[in-house]
Amino acid sequence: MADDRVWLTAEDVAEIVTILDGSPFNQLDLRTTRFRLRVAREQAGEAAGEWSQAWDWADGAALPGAAASVAVVAATSAEDTSDGLVRVAAALPGTFYRAPQPGAPAFVEPGDTVTAETVVGIVETMKLMNPVHAGVAGTVDSIPAANSVMVAAGTALVRIRPA
């Protein structure tokens, strides 16, 4: 419940910095059962002399279950391209769509001829629709990525046999 919590507000952190600033110390490392806070004076770089804060939080009431790292949700096809095929990979993690909208014909099908500029799919990342271009002229060999699934960056979306 709320009463056994230790909350540090922005004002509390500011006060810690003010105290440290007038002392010979450059760093404070505070650990509780709930968090670890490090307040430190930057030693190098452009921010040298400025104070920073970094936190680590214990898990608390978080739901059980393995940390679902989004970056590995979809299997990454790491097949070799020694068969002469060019893999068109996702530049960003996101949801891969084969068609411009549900029910519409797919951008490309196996056997289609493409140029470097041909759009072969869309990857939706953080509300933005990013068109995926073939990048090479040739014939679509296969489309290993399924429609409307999450893909990791680098996942092979489409394989193309260069012309």
| Minimum gap (Å) between residue 98 Cβ and other proteins | 17
* Range in contact with other proteins (rule: CB under 8 A) among 68-76, 99-107, 109-117, 135-143: 68-76
CA distances from 113 to 104, 128, 157, 158, 162 (A): 19, 27, 16, 13, 10
- Out of 65, 84, 102, 105, the only residue in the binding site for other proteins (CB under 8 A) is 65
The length of the chain in residues reads: 163
Measured from the CB atom, the residue of 130 and 139 that comes closer to other proteins is 130
- Out of 29, 50, 79, 117, the only residue in the binding site for other proteins (CB under 8 A) is 50
Query: If residue 16 lies in a helix (H) or strand (E), which one and from where to where?
Result: helix 10-21
Q: Answer yes or no whether residue 44 interacts with other proteins by CB under 8 A.
A: no
* Range in contact with other proteins (rule: CB under 8 A) among 17-25, 98-106, 112-120, 138-146: 17-25
Q: Is 94 helix (H, G, I), strand (E, B) or coil?
A: strand
Measured from the CB atom, the residue of 24 and 111 that comes closer to other proteins is 24
- As a dihedral over the C-alpha atoms of residue 101, residue 107, residue 109, residue 113, rounded to 10 degrees, the angle is 170
| Minimum gap (Å) between residue 135 Cβ and other proteins | 17
Q: Are strands 27-31 and 35-41 parallel, antiparallel or unpaired?
A: antiparallel
Distance CA 88, CA 107 (A): 14
| Minimum gap (Å) between residue 105 Cβ and other proteins | 23
Distance CA 120, CA 98 (A): 7
Binding positions for other proteins, rule: CB under 8 A = 1-3, 5, 7, 9-10, 13-14, 16-18, 21, 39, 42, 45-47, 50-63, 65, 67-71, 92-95, 125-128, 150
